[in-house]
Amino acid sequence: MPQINRQFVLASRPQGAVTPENFRLVETPLAPLADGEVRVRNHYLSLDPYMRGRMNDSKSYAPPQPLDEVMIGGTVGEVVESKNPKFAVGDKVVAMFGWQEYGTSNGAGMQKVDDTHVPLSAYLGPVGMPGVTAWYGLNRIIAPKAGETVVVSAASGAVGSVVGQLAKEAGARAVGIAGGPQKCRYVVETLGFDACVDYKAGNLYQDLKAATPNGVDGCFENVGGEVLDATLARMNPAGRIALCGFIAGYDGQPVPLKHPSLILTQRLLVQGFIVSEHMDVWPEALKQLGTLVAQKKLHYRESIAQGLDAAPEAFIGLLKGKNFGKQLVRLI
């Protein structure tokens, strides 16, 4: 077994847009396992927009990513060595080992998964944190009724794609917002949304108005900025907005709302949420999501970068919307 672990650490905090120089690749010797420890060969690394916020040294819902430590991130892999009776060699596990090829743990925070009917990579997407994020925001905040209209920004992404499909399962009308005709076709033709608006076409509000003739009852927001402004202007009275992300402002430039008074005049519920604070719903959500994926009733798409070396550029591309679906890095 190799004695070296390759890792990316955060070398510096971004000043504006993330650059490759913000990361540093290091090689660290693998120490022998202590009693109770487990070693995992990571197969996939999840890249997610929340990582950008963690790179800042500012107040947020979680502590900043420390400098010179392995970048945070979800992983899925296989146990290759174990001195812990709860984990055997060959077990497949989801963990938060971050941007590295091997993870070593006492087992805390590791979850065994079964890849017989659900592909291993899906546990970082529709049957993982992004899927549960979609499930919680839709079911616990928007709570759509049959016949209502739900608008989903970043609709072709890991979270948005699940939101729209679950909204359809609930009998709602799902309208996506995505960037470019290819992504919009995928949202409608593969994911089954009723419509998708291309925000890059330059006519966002008018196109969204045409796609939502009866207004909007629920909004699942991943982007913010002009996308949220356009949706706010279409909200019906007593509409519900689940605030999941503001990727439009992640590079440090705040994007204020143009018409915040709509929240008052339309009596809107606006609720931000962090899915890791709602662990009580994870078992129910994962059971439903895993069943839908196993039955091929929940569709998803992955963008896979090859090798740990590709992680920084893949992450930068994610923040610019270059990925199509869930962004992963294959580590083996």
The pair of three-digit structure tokens given for residue 66, joined into one six-digit string = 């420390």
Tokens 């076409």 -> residue: 201
Please say whether the beta carbons of 40 and 120 come within 8 A: no
Contact between 270 and 245 under an 8 Å Cβ cutoff? The reply is no
How do strand 326-330 and strand 302-306 relate by DSSP bridges? parallel
End-to-end CA distance of the chain: 14
Domains in the chain, CATH or no CATH each: 4-125+300-330 (3.90.180.10), 129-276 (3.40.50.720)
Task: Give 214's strand partners.
Answer: none
User: Which strands make up the sheet holding 173-178, listed edge to edge?
Assistant: 195-198, 173-178, 149-153, 216-221, 235-243, 269-272
What pLDDT, on the 0 to 100 scale, is given for residue 197? 98
In eight-state DSSP terms, residue 159 is T
Q: With contact defined as beta carbons under 8 Å apart, do 248 and 272 qualify? A: no
- The per-residue pLDDT for 124 is 98
Q: Which residues contact 284 (CB under 8 A, 6 or more apart)?
A: none
Task: Give the helix ranges, DSSP H, for the chain.
Answer: 50-54, 129-136, 160-169, 181-189, 204-211, 225-232, 261-265, 282-294, 311-319
* Three-class SS of 48-63: CCHHHHHCCCCCCCCC
pLDDT of residue 90: 98
Query: What is the predicted pLDDT for the residue at 251?
Result: 65
Q: How far apart are CA 222 and CA 20, in angstroms?
A: 24
Angle, nearest 10°, between helix axes 225-232 and 204-211?
40
Amino acid 59: pLDDT: 76
3-state helix, strand, coil in the chain (%, to 5): 30, 25, 40
Residue 20's CB: how many other CB atoms inside 10 A?
A: 12
Where do we find the tokens 């994610």? 318
Amino acid code (one letter) for 311: A
Place of tokens 């890249």: 47
Hey, what are 266's tokens? 């339309």
Compute the C-alpha angle 17/19/20, nearest 5°.
165
Per residue of the chain (332 residues), give pLDDT as tens.
568 999 999 999 999 899 999 999 999 999 999 999 999 999 999 999 899 989 998 877 778 999 999 999 999 999 999 999 999 999 999 999 999 999 999 999 999 999 999 999 999 999 999 999 999 999 999 999 999 999 999 999 999 999 999 999 999 999 999 999 999 999 999 999 999 999 999 999 999 999 999 999 999 999 999 999 999 999 999 999 999 998 877 666 667 899 999 999 999 999 999 999 999 999 999 999 999 999 999 999 999 999 999 999 999 999 998 999 999 999 99
Q: Are strands 149-153 and 195-198 parallel, antiparallel or unpaired?
A: unpaired
pLDDT number for residue 61: 76
Tokens of 214: 């009866």
Task: Return the closest-CA partner of residue 151 out of 177, 169, 170.
Answer: 177
